Amino acid sequence: MRVPRIVATVIAAVSVLATLGVTAPSANADVNVYTTPGEHTVNGRQWRTWCEPYSRTARCTTQIKVGGVWTFNNLTYLPSPRSLWVGNPLATPGYHVVKGRKWYTECDTPRTGGNGCRSYIDTTGRGNYVFNNVVQFGQIRTDLDSLYKYRPPADPTPTPAPSGPYSITKGPNTSNRVILTFDDCPKSLSSFRTTVKAVSDMGVRLALFPTGDCVTAGRFDAAYARSLGHYVFNHSISHPQLTNLSYSAVVRQLGAPGIVTTYGRPPYGAYNSTVRSAYDAVGMRIWTWTVDTNDWRGKSSSELVRYVVNNSSGGDTVLMHMQWNGFNASSIRSMRDGLSAKGVGMCRNTGAVAAKPAGISC
């Protein structure tokens, strides 16, 4: 039987990668380098792996040292039920186009171990498919939290992932402190920098959700915000109503030039099953809010301060927008002081944060 050229290319690529150590370690290896966080030496090769939350399971990234440089090897999605992967290209056999790139996925073959899928990406656009990731089917592990402690040394200290059931409205804030969150885009880069620096100096940590269009326009600096201890998460590229889009269009909205990270807020807080599947596919969790200030209605700074203080309780996520009257040092300081007066703390700033944190720390 003649093997299609594109599949033959995949098989050839896998064979070449096998000679580089890409295949799974042998059964008598001391450690599975693809699912065990940390740095390992197996068969004389140096490996390192770290894991992050993905949907209800975890995704582990593995690198191998080649010529003294850590190089991407593959992704492993730890066991989870097949039902969670319905419609996901990484678990749907055949050829797919995702964010303009071509993929090939095979499932339940001898190469996948009979209970999972392997995906290959076309690295050149000309049918040169290279192995990229494995999806494992099965019961979700009960020790996932223990996998999130290691990160490569060059990364900031990881934040523990939230434990227990995940709440879309409260998001990863499992503390008893209020966290202020701001969407969209500030009026200017200079006003943005002034505000986030002043808020950092007062010991408060914000969660910021800029659009990709804002980043492209040069009015938001994600690296600067993170260096000051503020979280930066996704808010789509162009702020469409995601529930009106196809699955592939939603996936595109969650990519660059938007913020590529671990949490995202759909515009207008709107989501349905298609939107949730897209967030799962890119490894983001949806985070909306528990307190909506409606600042976009033109409320003054004093009105916003009063609303936040009167309506927020421990553990709340407060929604505001960077272009309106709550996004300034004076308003945020008054909110902090007003909440403190009634015994409610605001998310504390403890320094620089990662671009893709497993959770948040307040």
Q: Hey, where are the domains in the chain?
A: 38-146, 179-342
Other CB atoms within 10 A of residue 208 CB: 24
Instruction: Give the pLDDT confidence score for residue 19 in this predicted structure.
Output: 33
Mean pLDDT of 315-321: 97
Condensed to tens digits (0 to 9), the pLDDT of residues 37-47 reads 999 998 889 99
Q: What homologous superfamily does CATH list for 179-342? A: Glycoside hydrolase/deacetylase (3.20.20.370)
Give the H/E segment covering residue 337.
helix 329-341
Between 53 and 294, name the one with better pLDDT.
294
CA 317, 318, 323, 329 torsion-angle sign: negative
Instruction: Give the pLDDT confidence score for residue 350 in this predicted structure.
Output: 86
Contact between residue 240 and residue 234 where contact means Cβ atoms under 8 Å apart: no
Asked which of 42-56, 173-187, 346-360 is least confident by mean pLDDT, the reply is: 42-56
Condensed to tens digits (0 to 9), the pLDDT of residues 166-222 reads 999 999 999 999 999 999 999 999 999 999 999 999 999 999 999 999 999 999 999
Helices (H), 221-320: 222-227, 247-253, 273-281, 301-311
pLDDT surpassing 60 at residue 22: no
Least Cα distance to 230 among 351, 316, 98, 124 occurs for 351
In this structure, what token pair is assigned to residue 260?
């590529």
pTM of the predicted protein model: 0.62
Separation CA 105–CA 12 (nearest Å): 15
Other CB atoms within 10 A of residue 10 CB: 23
CA 340, 344, 350, 353 torsion-angle sign: negative
Phi, psi of 296, rounded to the nearest 5 degrees: -65, -10
In this structure, what token pair is assigned to residue 109?
């073959």
pLDDT surpassing 50 at residue 159: yes
Phi, psi of 310, rounded to the nearest 5 degrees: -75, -25
Instruction: Give the pLDDT confidence score for residue 157 in this predicted structure.
Output: 60
Percent of the chain at pLDDT > 70 equals 87
DSSP notation for 222-270: HHHHHHTT-EE-B--SS---GGGS-HHHHHHHTSTTS--SSEE--GGG-
Q: Residues of 283-305 as b/e, b for ≥16 C-beta within 10 angstroms?
A: bbbbbbbbbebebeeebebebbb
Instruction: Give the pLDDT confidence score for residue 65 in this predicted structure.
Output: 85
In this structure, what token pair is assigned to residue 239?
């702020």
Instruction: Give the pLDDT confidence score for residue 155 in this predicted structure.
Output: 55
The partner residues of 65 in beta bridges, in order of sequence, read 70
Computed over every residue of the chain, the mean pLDDT equals 86
Contact between residue 231 and residue 172 where contact means Cβ atoms under 8 Å apart: no
